[in-house]
Amino acid sequence: MTELSPELTQRILDAVAAGFEDQIAFTTTLGRFPSLRGQEHTAQDFLHDQLQARGYAMDRWAIDVDDIKHHPGFSPVTIDYSNAINVVGTLRPRAETGRSLILNGHVDVVPTGPVDMWTTPPFEPHRDGDWLYGRGIADMKAGIAANIFAVDALARLGYRPAATLYQQSVVEEECTGNGALACLQRGYRADAAIIPEPEDDMLVRANTGVLWFRVRVQGAPVHVREAGTGANAIEAAYELIRGLRELEAAWNARKGDHRYFEDLDHPINFNVGKIAGGDWASSVPAWCEFDCRIAIYPGISAQDAAREIEDHLRRVSDRIPFLANNPPQVIYNGFYAEGYVLEEGTQAEATLARAHMSSYAEPLQSFVTPGYLDGRVFVIYADTPCLVYGPYSQAIHGFDERVKLSSVQRVTGTIALFIAEWCGLEEI
Amino acid sequence: MTELSPELTQRILDAVAAGFEDQIAFTTTLGRFPSLRGQEHTAQDFLHDQLQARGYAMDRWAIDVDDIKHHPGFSPVTIDYSNAINVVGTLRPRAETGRSLILNGHVDVVPTGPVDMWTTPPFEPHRDGDWLYGRGIADMKAGIAANIFAVDALARLGYRPAATLYQQSVVEEECTGNGALACLQRGYRADAAIIPEPEDDMLVRANTGVLWFRVRVQGAPVHVREAGTGANAIEAAYELIRGLRELEAAWNARKGDHRYFEDLDHPINFNVGKIAGGDWASSVPAWCEFDCRIAIYPGISAQDAAREIEDHLRRVSDRIPFLANNPPQVIYNGFYAEGYVLEEGTQAEATLARAHMSSYAEPLQSFVTPGYLDGRVFVIYADTPCLVYGPYSQAIHGFDERVKLSSVQRVTGTIALFIAEWCGLEEI
């Protein structure tokens, strides 16, 4: 509750430094689990065992869609959740004298793309100077390790938090946000939360919501010798993609109406991330479907955004004779999530700012990011200040994804100092 | 050798009519075999047994790429040919007094596309009035049946051809033309050939060659929050598709230089028939590939056309910064085939014209078609007049593909009359 003494601050940072080679080894091991969507469970089992060995009380469960589907923060699910396992470790003090804290991270990683585009194999983490490479290393296995090793550093000094601390490792952050939501539904709450996503040593002040949707075009195929009479579904799909770029431009033009987004160059990113269509080079394709991601400003509900997307696609379709007769289908198949603003002036942020200054010797900066974050679950649905704050990275979601190790060490120091001040410490 | 008497002509047409309900039943049975590429062998086994039961000497073999890959008419192969089975039945006379004949048809069919777009299941042929529906019924199982039942009709009158007659059922017509090519390589030759493709009761005077190629774009994916810095491979692919439409227009503008093609509206059809790209809605896609089909005029070699396609794609790529640094790959994965012209004035055509007049009571018309035909194997590489001539159809390669049964009966009559005059007849 009180600010940390310079002497304790230094002892904590030294303890983080002393454990940092082990932390890199741990991050490397975690990075070897190919925790792509639908196959996160082996990494989760590893984390479960690691936390249990450290004395956490463990909770591990498969997300049940029925438990969360009526929640306003729920996103549509298209896969089987039998192996969608959340892991939460709880560390309880003898006496609850401080403020409780959730340290959260997601274990799921995005696909690698063509593996031959990687310099080294994506699930064989590779250290080169101050960088650690691998799919998911920055986004966000380094963060999960930082959460765990921050507490370990305190333990090395003979301390544990003087308030309940939860380590959450969740799934589904890269596609729905249902993993963090399922933790909330299961009753996990605290006075603050930290999520060490790769945020370039800064705190996220606000972020966008995100919608995922699939657009399906279906037409009448003919022999290509009659190509003029048939509707090419692949080319019709492209007309819709161009139409969605118009919607993106329109939404970006509204940035002035949205606090914290006025000064961003391009807050609303639309992406067509996946496409499939047609069966045969010599048949005019009868179908094409493409998967999209678009951002929405905080305060815009997913429902309102969805309505605007569909209305816009209908207008685009009306311009194209074939599409006018074959309106495209829109299927929501993932993120259906609002953005959030971390209001300024919380005690949690002030605590983070002090811890950051001690660890970095520079003031904490905040910024606005145009991507989805599980922070929205805490801020919107639990009224909990959520500090999304983490290390410097490059090429997340790309080839040769990497995190800067010196930055990870400083972030770990910040988290350890935050715990010491926010939760307080008791001797083990 | 001599023209048929009116009396024999009528007896033959009556015999075709007498067998026609059986012929429809046979076509229906053949249509139930889902002889998509790579799975034609069960239909081929059926045809083998049917021909054997009729007294043909049978030859059945899997195409060996090594046997044909050095032939100038060879097209690249991307699948395993273990089940790519050709079937040829030979019917020999006691005394070879007439002219030999190959009756050819392909048993492979193109994909159905989404099955729910069909009124009735594509591999459960359905008769409605004068139409028989099903995938491959028109293109070209009705033609294979016509070849067989034309000979059967003569047999019912106690006759067989007085020259060697081959029934060829080949694979790979819809993608490479390697099935017909493998028959030629195996030594099958004759004084003329007939292929009853669905040609709306007309003779094909000339057709285009066809090239298949896959274009692969590979880029650098990034998190969508940095979408501006990454190259979206799906959108880059569309730039190339637009570029190929320019090439199509340029080639169409040259139609005046190509005999028989001057008066066609749009002789060169380009089609993008299949597309796949990206892995994840929220990652800027790293790759996209699309499968194309384009026609070429007779006399243009596949090699020359390929060079022009690649040069054009290079010019388009140069206009687009991302593509200039990541030139697309072009992979030839199917048709690599020239077109042909059936020269006017052959005895074979004169014989067909007489047979057609007897069957239809209308003069034979010829036309030019902008699609691939196995006829090129006979005309270009064996100097054999090949008569591609067949029934009226609708929606080949589309949904609810269908053939007009009264037209099939007349085509069968034409073929039976052609055999009688071209090969001559001997009593069984």
What's the confidence (pLDDT) of residue A325?
74
User: Which chain B residue shows the shortest CA-CA distance from A209?
Assistant: B225
B76, two tokens: 């690249």
First to last CA, chain B: 19
Return d(Cα B385, Cα B418) in angstroms, integer.
Answer: 14
Buried b (16+ CB within 10 A) or exposed e, A163-180: bbbbbbbbbbbbbbbbbb
**Where residue A331 sits, what CATH number does that domain have?**
3.30.70.360
Do A95 and A32 belong together in one domain?
A: yes
Do B277 and B313 belong together in one domain?
A: yes
Residues of chain A with Cβ-Cβ distance to B113 below 8 Å are 221, 279, 283, 286-287
Amino acid at B404: K
Do B44 and B175 belong together in one domain?
A: yes
Return d(Cα A56, Cα A59) in angstroms, integer.
Answer: 9
What's the confidence (pLDDT) of residue B319?
84
A343, two tokens: 């209001």
Residue B1 in any domain: the answer is: no
Residue A315 CB: number of other CB atoms within 10 A? 12
Return d(Cα A196, Cα A378) in angstroms, integer.
Answer: 14
Q: What is the pLDDT of residues A362-376, one digit of tens each?
A: 999 999 999 999 999
Contact A396 B223 (CB under 8 A): yes
Q: What residues form DSSP beta bridges with A388?
A: A195
Contact A225 B272 (CB under 8 A): no
Place of tokens 């030839």: B332
Task: Quote the DSSP letter at residue B323.
Answer: H
User: Which chain B residue shows the shortest CA-CA distance from A174?
Assistant: B282
Helix (H) or strand (E) holding A44: helix A41-53
Contacts of B383 (CB under 8 A, 6+ apart): none
Return d(Cα A210, Cα B148) in angstroms, integer.
Answer: 62
Mind listing the pLDDT tens digit of every residue in chain B (428 residues)? 578 999 999 999 999 999 999 999 999 999 999 999 999 999 999 999 999 999 999 999 999 999 999 999 999 999 999 999 999 999 999 999 999 999 999 999 999 999 999 999 999 999 999 999 999 999 999 999 999 999 999 999 999 999 999 999 999 999 999 999 999 999 999 999 999 999 999 999 999 999 999 999 987 655 566 555 458 899 999 999 999 999 999 999 999 999 999 999 999 999 999 999 999 999 889 899 999 999 999 999 999 999 999 999 999 998 877 787 788 999 999 999 999 999 999 999 999 999 999 999 999 999 999 999 999 999 999 999 999 999 999 999 999 999 999 999 999 999 999 999 999 999 99
Reported pTM: 0.92
Return d(Cα B268, Cα B254) in angstroms, integer.
Answer: 10
Residues of chain B with Cβ-Cβ distance to A281 below 8 Å are 175, 212, 271, 273-274, 291-293, 334
Do B170 and B284 belong together in one domain?
A: no
Bond from prior residue into A140 cis (ω within 30 degrees of 0): yes
B185, two tokens: 């390589």
What's the confidence (pLDDT) of residue B322?
74
| Three-class secondary structure of residue A217 per DSSP | strand
State the total domains in chain A.
Answer: 2
> Residues B215, B290: contact at Cβ < 8 Å?
yes
Domain end position, chosen among A337, A358, A373? A337
Q: Name the phi and psi angles at A142, rounded to 5.
A: -60, -35
What's the confidence (pLDDT) of residue A326?
81
Return d(Cα B83, Cα B80) in angstroms, integer.
Answer: 8
Residue B356 in any domain: the answer is: yes
Domain end position, chosen among B337, B365, B385? B337
Q: How far is CA A312 from CA A145, A218, A244, A257, B218, in A?
A: 44, 18, 8, 20, 30
> Residues A161, A147: contact at Cβ < 8 Å?
no
E-strand spans in A219-327? Answer: 270-277, 287-296
Domain end position, chosen among B337, B355, B383? B337
What's the confidence (pLDDT) of residue B222?
54
B336, two tokens: 């690599």
Return d(Cα A393, Cα A372) in angstroms, integer.
Answer: 17
Diameter of chain B by CA atoms? 82
Q: Which of B223, B224, B271 sits opposite A282 (nearest CB)?
A: B271
Do A396 and A307 belong together in one domain?
A: no
Return d(Cα A217, Cα B237) in angstroms, integer.
Answer: 18
Q: What residues form DSSP beta bridges with B167?
A: B89, B103
E-strand spans in B265-337? Answer: 270-277, 287-296, 329-331, 336-337
> Residues B411, B147: contact at Cβ < 8 Å?
no
User: Which chain B residue shows the shortest CA-CA distance from A237?
Assistant: B238
> Residues B174, B105: contact at Cβ < 8 Å?
no
Do B213 and B199 belong together in one domain?
A: no
A176, two tokens: 């729905």
Do B322 and B356 belong together in one domain?
A: no
> Residues A269, A283: contact at Cβ < 8 Å?
no
Alpha helix segments (H runs only) across B167-210: 178-185
Cα dihedral B257, B263, B264, B265, rounded to 10, equals 100
B269 touches chain A (CB under 8 A): yes
Helix (H) or strand (E) holding B298: none
Amino acid at A123: F
| Three-class secondary structure of residue B312 per DSSP | helix
Place of tokens 């034309």: B150
Q: What residues form DSSP beta bridges with B168?
A: B88, B104
Residue A187 CB: number of other CB atoms within 10 A? 6
> Residues B75, B398: contact at Cβ < 8 Å?
no
Task: Quote the DSSP letter at residue A294.
Answer: E
- B interface mutation test: which of A36, A251, A280, A325 has the most B CBs within 10 A? A280
> Residues A187, A322: contact at Cβ < 8 Å?
no
Contacts of A220 (CB under 8 A, 6+ apart): A230, A231, A286, B117, B398, B399
Residue ranges for chain A with pLDDT beneath 50? 229
A323 touches chain B (CB under 8 A): no
Tally C-beta pairs within 8 A across A and B: 225
Q: What residues form DSSP beta bridges with A128?
A: A131
Q: Which of A228, A280, A334 sits opposite B110 (nearest CB)?
A: A280
What radius of gyration do chain B's Cα atoms show?
23
Residue A379 CB: number of other CB atoms within 10 A? 24
Residue A75 in any domain: the answer is: yes
> Residues B370, B237: contact at Cβ < 8 Å?
no
Q: Give the domain extent around A67.
A: 6-207+339-427
Q: Name the phi and psi angles at B426, rounded to 5.
A: -130, 155
Do A194 and A294 belong together in one domain?
A: no
Do A20 and A142 belong together in one domain?
A: yes
Instruction: Say what percent of chain B tops pLDDT 90.
Output: 92
Return d(Cα B25, Cα B23) in angstroms, integer.
Answer: 5
What's the confidence (pLDDT) of residue A309?
98
Residue A1 in any domain: the answer is: no
- B interface mutation test: which of A212, A215, A225 has the most B CBs within 10 A? A225
Do A158 and A179 belong together in one domain?
A: yes
Task: Quote the DSSP letter at residue B225.
Answer: G
A230 touches chain B (CB under 8 A): yes
Do B383 and B269 belong together in one domain?
A: no
Return d(Cα B142, Cα B403) in angstroms, integer.
Answer: 8
Interface subset of A 283-312, CB within 8 angstroms of B: 283-288, 290-293
What's the confidence (pLDDT) of residue B382?
97
- B interface mutation test: which of A37, A108, A275, A333 has the most B CBs within 10 A? A275
Q: Name the phi and psi angles at A381, rounded to 5.
A: -105, -5
ipTM: 0.91
Of B300, B387, B312, B391, which Cα lies nearest the Cα of B351? B387
Do B53 and B121 belong together in one domain?
A: yes
Place of tokens 């006759």: B159
Diameter of chain A by CA atoms? 82
**Where residue A81 sits, what CATH number does that domain have?**
3.40.630.10
